[in-house]
């Protein structure tokens, strides 16, 4: 079993990105992983915008990253890149906060015009933070994520299968990471 930190980088109170991540968290939990959700929007703005490295919420977030074997990073596409609040948090983490970790990058967006934002914008940042293995990510159109009256999340056919596949690849990569650590 691995510890997975699942980070939603949307500032929105009704975030589709957060809903999608929590939906996928359940799949990872069913596979035996301990999943810890973190919504960046819950971190006090003064800590993020004031670059307060010592703020308890920043220290706690850094500790969650340090404890995780794997990290899911989900972001809405804003202005053709990842969100500003996600960057504000990443900037306050130690330079190599992702060293040795397996990372699954995910994005939601309104248009396929920016489907490559994960690769040209987010992936280089994750690399610079020392990620050991960044598995294949996935971009999901916002219109493909719907919420039922009971809060349940449904993902459109086709996209749902693709997401399941990248989540399962991430899960397998976490498993082999543990094996290497045990035998290495």
Rg (CA), the chain: 16
In the complex with ligand FMN, which residue's Cβ is closer, 12 or 169? 12
Q: What are the residue ranges of helices labelled H in the chain?
A: 16-30, 45-49, 56-67, 84-92, 117, 123-128, 159-183
> Considering the rule CB under 6 A, would residue 3 count as an interface residue with ligand FMN?
no
**Min CB(79)–ligand FMN separation in Å:** 5
In the complex with ligand FMN, which residue's Cβ is closer, 105 or 177? 105
In the complex with ligand FMN, which residue's Cβ is closer, 74 or 177? 74
Q: What are the residue ranges of helices labelled H in 50-158?
A: 56-67, 84-92, 117, 123-128
159: phi then psi, degrees, rounded to nearest 5: -65, -40
> Considering the rule CB under 6 A, would residue 6 count as an interface residue with ligand FMN?
no
> Considering the rule CB under 6 A, would residue 178 count as an interface residue with ligand FMN?
no
Which residues make up the interface to ligand FMN (CB under 6 A)? 10, 12, 15-17, 76-80, 108-111, 114, 142
């Amino acid at each position: 079993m691995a510890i997975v930190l699942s980070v939603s980088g949307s500032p929105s109170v009704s975030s589709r990105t957060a809903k999608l991540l929590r939906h996928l968290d359940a799949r990872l939990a069913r596979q035996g992983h301990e999943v810890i959700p973190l919504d960046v929007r819950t971190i006090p703005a003064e800590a993020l915008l004031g670059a307060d490295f010592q703020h308890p919420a920043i220290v706690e977030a850094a500790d969650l990253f340090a404890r995780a074997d794997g990290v899911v990073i989900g972001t809405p596409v804003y202005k053709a890149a990842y969100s500003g609040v996600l960057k504000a948090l990443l900037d306050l983490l130690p330079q190599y906060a992702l060293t040795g970790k397996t990372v699954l990058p995910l994005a939601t967006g309104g248009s396929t015009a920016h489907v490559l934002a994960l690769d040209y914008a987010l992936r280089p940042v994750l690399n610079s933070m020392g990620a050991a293995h960044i598995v294949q990510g996935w971009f999901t159109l916002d219109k493909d994520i719907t919420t039922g009256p009971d809060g349940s999340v449904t993902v459109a056919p086709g996209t749902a299968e693709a997401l399941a596949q990248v989540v399962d690849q991430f899960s397998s990569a976490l498993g082999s990471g543990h094996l290497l650590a045990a035998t290495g």
